[in-house]
Structure 1
Amino acid sequence: MDQDRPRQHHDIGGVPGFMCREVDTEPHALSDFDREVDALRQLLGAKRIMSVDELRRGIEAIPEAEYHRLSYYQRWIRAIADNLLRSGTVTEAELAAALDRVGGTAGGGVA
């Protein structure tokens, strides 16, 4: 890494505060929320509405405090929503109406 550029908050490899944590290598069961977010990302990719690169850039753009507060798939849904809003695929009113229909912020992902 370029020593003159500060580390981004999502780039935690080698950061002492994260190095001491044991890595859990056991398989994890996915929740319904996790599977639905993954399916949505796959559909958006298949329809060429949003690429994996756009997802990654969206995740990396999440402000630091929120990034560390959110779970893995909550970061995904936040990035998906941000990308769809930015591209004009959905409006804020449409997103708000969809969230109202499903009972709020599914999985706590979109605030």
Structure 2
Amino acid sequence: MPDEAPAPATHDIGGAPRFRCTPVDPDDEAPPDAFGKRVDALRQLLAQRGLMSVDELRRGIEALPETEYHALGYYERWLRSISGLMAEKGVVTPEDLRP
């Protein structure tokens, strides 16, 4: 019996009918808002200090549960991943991340 292919991860939605996209008009793309700029600045600072890589950021985003992944915005996913990575590495504690 051949091995079964693993189930696709939440982010791996290529070809799924409910996620088929229309072509993107580059003129309609808005620049990041203030929140997105702050999250990207945080990502850059952490990368410059050797505390995280873009691959780790991607891994954290891809590990989000499906409902959370689809409920969060683009930079919210980044921030959730960054927070998890920093807690995983002991840079912050879970208590530090509570509002």
TM-score band (shorter)? 0.7 to 0.9
Unaligned runs of at least 5 residues, structure 2: none
Q: Given residue 8 of structure 1, which amino acid in structure 2 is its aligned partner? A: A
Give the Cα separation in 2 of the matches to 1:3 and 1:30: 41
Instruction: Return the TM-score normalized by structure 2.
Output: 0.87
Deviation at 1:3, TM superposition (A): 6.6
Higher mean alpha-carbon deviation, 65-74 vs 85-94, is at 85-94
The CA RMSD over aligned residues, in Å, is: 1.7
Q: Residues 1-111 of structure 1 correspond to what in structure 2 (within 5 A)? A: 4-19=5-20, 21-25=21-25, 26-96=28-98, 99=99
Give the Cα separation in 1 of the matches to 2:92 and 2:23: 38
Q: Given residue 90 of structure 1, which amino acid in structure 2 is its aligned partner? A: V
**SS of residue paired to 1:34:** helix
Partner deviation per Cα, 1:71-109 (whole Å, 9 max, x = no partner): 11000000000000111001122223xx4xxxxxxxxxx
Give the Cα separation in 1 of the matches to 2:94 and 2:7: 33
Give the Cα separation in 2 of the matches to 1:23 and 1:67: 22
Give the Cα separation in 2 of the matches to 1:48 and 1:92: 21
Q: Given residue 32 of structure 1, which amino acid in structure 2 is its aligned partner? A: A
Higher RCO structure (Cα 8 Å, ≥6 apart): 2
Deviation at 1:69, TM superposition (A): 0.6
User: How many residue pairs end up in the alignment?
Assistant: 95
**SS of residue paired to 2:64:** coil
Unaligned runs of at least 5 residues, structure 1: 100-111
Q: Given residue 24 of structure 1, which amino acid in structure 2 is its aligned partner? A: V
